[in-house]
Structure 1
């Protein structure tokens, strides 16, 4: 499932492509035909995201809500010179103007909401490290009062929005936290350090389109941007400290990286240096 940075990046791309314009909105598959008819021809105001939830705001207080789920994709492509680009695959929703087509396939949710419905949906989400107005104390209150493991809590979108499996594995390693530690045993300072780290790491994911958690890679990408270069997604190495490194040596202490299923997802950690509670 895409992590929060993907949805924030996508919201920005949709806003750049369509804000101020009135794209046609259709449902080639047919399953979203009624919703598409409500949005077709309306002016797009902005895109936004909260955690793993994506929103495209239209005039008339109509909001397109999308949750990609495990298999959903929302792909934008240039169509300059193509009046009617062909539909490939099963497309639930298509946005189209003279420059850009955006095709949505396989989402878990695709609905038209009014502001009150969108607000109610957001009220059930935890704070999002990519939203400056988010309050980490809201997540801390749930973590501090829970006997569930910190690894499970970090994946609960009602506790913390936008964090997926890769970020949880990597940030727990970065702060030496044992994944099975109960939330009620996590120290307040440790939680603040985790929140601050996510708030610093995840914007790089929005900017580059790739999860970056190793300081060496971050430094190289930052140097490239400072030199006026724009790293492409494929230029950013997919190199993690513990994620999918079962049996390999921990970069910090040399012990073996371990693996177990936690909260239905594969958890990776170092049993030697991740002992902090």
Structure 2
């Protein structure tokens, strides 16, 4: 599932393509045809994201999208639709095709605000308040690794960022939220508001410090479909880049967790 930086990058790209235009909106697949007709030709003021939720503003309606596991948005010069396209947003210069979303609905601004109120703060938004996340974390007996993935606690953080910020700050993933120190939470938040904006710019996740890059260590670059240089994510059984011990893995709340048992001892 795309992490928050991907949605924010997509919002920027959609805004660049359609803000200030009156795009035609259609549903080549047919499943969204009635709603598409309501917003087609209306002024578009751009797109925004919070966590893993994306919305595109059309006058008094918002197109609310959650990509889920298989959803994709392709922005390219107009061409005949290919595949099962739920929604096409198009001008004579550019078309954005949405396929396979988990959620695709029209909402009023009030309905959208109610949906977003259920989410935790997003490190990529300027209006994010880390105190809201801390208030939920330090009262919880759940592992901090589970809390970081809970979108009602913190929105936009996925499996890669949670594994990497815990490693970078030497925090054990099984530490209960109520036993996490305030200093450690501040370090996690500060890391997220540094790493995630860079992910938006680069459109990939890189988390290793300069001294641990392939060039600095004389090691081969990481080969992975997701790209990016990381410490522990999807490196189970490999040597830790810092201490050399084996990277561990287990399933936590239905998602694969990765960590170094030697490096991550801090609470």
TM-score by length of 2: 0.93
Q: How does 1:70-89 map to 2 (within 5 A)?
A: 70-79=69-78, 85-89=79-83
1:11 — aligned with what? 11
* Residues 202-258 of structure 1: CA deviation (Å, up to 9, x unaligned): 0111111101111239999xxxxxxxxxxxxx9x95221001111111111111100
State which of 95, 98, 105 in structure 1 corresponds to 2:99. Answer: 105
Is 1:150 paired with 2:150?
no
* Residues 128-164 of structure 1: CA deviation (Å, up to 9, x unaligned): 0001111101000100000000010000000000000
- Determine the C-alpha separation between the residues in 2 that align with 1:178 and 1:139: 19
Gaps of 5+ in 1: 80-84, 221-233
- Determine the C-alpha separation between the residues in 1 that align with 2:200 and 2:264: 28
1:32 — aligned with what? 32
Contact kept in structure 1, 2:213 and 2:229, CA below 8 Å = no
1:173 — aligned with what? 167
- Determine the C-alpha separation between the residues in 1 that align with 2:237 and 2:206: 21
- Determine the C-alpha separation between the residues in 2 that align with 1:194 and 1:100: 39
Contact kept in structure 2, 1:149 and 1:179, CA below 8 Å = yes
1:58 — aligned with what? 58
1:230 — aligned with what? none
Contact kept in structure 1, 2:205 and 2:227, CA below 8 Å = no
Contact kept in structure 1, 2:46 and 2:57, CA below 8 Å = yes
1:215 — aligned with what? 209
C-alpha RMSD of matched pairs (Å): 1.7
Give the 3-state SS of the residue equivalent to 2:187 in structure 1.
helix
1:227 — aligned with what? none
1:41 — aligned with what? 41
Contact kept in structure 1, 2:160 and 2:233, CA below 8 Å = yes
Contact kept in structure 1, 2:73 and 2:97, CA below 8 Å = yes
- Determine the C-alpha separation between the residues in 1 that align with 2:106 and 2:112: 9
- Determine the C-alpha separation between the residues in 1 that align with 2:172 and 2:253: 15
- Determine the C-alpha separation between the residues in 2 that align with 1:219 and 1:207: 19
1:260 — aligned with what? 250
- Determine the C-alpha separation between the residues in 1 that align with 2:30 and 2:119: 30
User: Deviation at 1:98?
Assistant: 0.8
Contact kept in structure 2, 1:5 and 1:206, CA below 8 Å = yes
* Residues 144-185 of structure 1: CA deviation (Å, up to 9, x unaligned): 000000010000000000000000001100001111111000
Q: How does 1:204-243 map to 2 (within 5 A)?
A: 204-216=198-210, 238-243=228-233
Contact kept in structure 2, 1:212 and 1:218, CA below 8 Å = no
Contact kept in structure 1, 2:50 and 2:155, CA below 8 Å = yes
TM-score by length of 1: 0.90
Q: How does 1:115-134 map to 2 (within 5 A)?
A: 115-134=109-128
Give the 3-state SS of the residue equivalent to 1:163 in structure 2.
coil
